[in-house]
Structure 1
């Protein structure tokens, strides 16, 4: 029997990319999984899907309440929903700054806030936030995205401090450049997609992009009740990008 048997996990942005891989892995390991996403048509088999916009408090509150009611509570929250942004500080206007921060940072607060009453009733409550390697190292043309993920790192530590007395663990995963639909779209829009792809691979010491399943495995490890003493940790799954110079 898996350590996830009887537990309910909620995964935002769970219908594609890292979120879908995470939802599928948690479901395969025995959890009942609710996927929250704008478009849930591609939610993994075996999960229960709810349409949700993390920038809309009413939408979040409704989806979280429906998930908890249908699945019998919430034990694990994976705040994975996020969007990217390219350019230096001059290349994104105020509207885009507000949009990205609203999704990537305030969205975590909305979902976590809605889930807290349910987590406080759980014997194994945990929140996992999706951070990024760019919270640790400066990467060209990622000013806005890096700012949002730096905020996620700080928010994770603050949430861990706030909720440790409730027994709620709060951790984060910080992937390097991952093989996801967003990265694929970024490469497709480059003047030379092949050269851009090679540059992304080259900046990671392993020489390849991180896979969604590798990130999902780390999320599941942090979410497991077997990791009951792990809180306020940000685990890097980045192929050595932030730590190695080879």
Structure 2
């Protein structure tokens, strides 16, 4: 869970506007930005104009949208950029094997942030997008990262309210705890329509040089056509290959 920005500073207010955009938002009217941030309308308008002038927002018909300038800054983040460069061959190979939607995700607080998403024309519509985020407890990537995370983090997530995104989302802490124990034993996590109806998923962890979970790889497909249990070996192979590449890079440093 990301920390709140300081609304007593101009920078904090600007960051609050940027964070008002959610994963499924395309355009936000100024009135909605004001509602989500709690800023005065005149302040929100002035800062949105400044953000647009600096290519962090685009002024479009109906309001504002996040600008490509943010993507450029994000791609300069050293960890995610180097991780993505190493992961891409494995993600592309996994897509060629499955022809379903492939994700690479990392943990940020209590959320998964999607670093990459690969999919073709036949993929089912998924709520995920590159740079977007979802709660850990309702995604296969999130569960596999949570299962291998520090016990204190698991306790923190399990003690917090678990948001129900669909009727299938696991929101009982005891049941989720048992699922995480099984994930750690089996090395993969499954999601069955827990983040979005009609989608199922399998994910495997990517480990760093110190055997800490640094990311996870997943394959997602539609109920009825995709059977995630048949792709366990392929997902594990991609995650293991990426883990080995990370370890080899770290040994050469």
Q: Please indicate, yes or no, whether the TM-score normalized by the shorter chain is above 0.5.
A: no
Scaled by the length of structure 2, what TM-score is found?
Answer: 0.27
Task: Look at both structures and tell me which one has the larger radius of gyration over its CA atoms.
Answer: 2
Whose strand fraction is larger, Structure 1's or Structure 2's?
2
Scaled by the length of structure 1, what TM-score is found?
Answer: 0.28
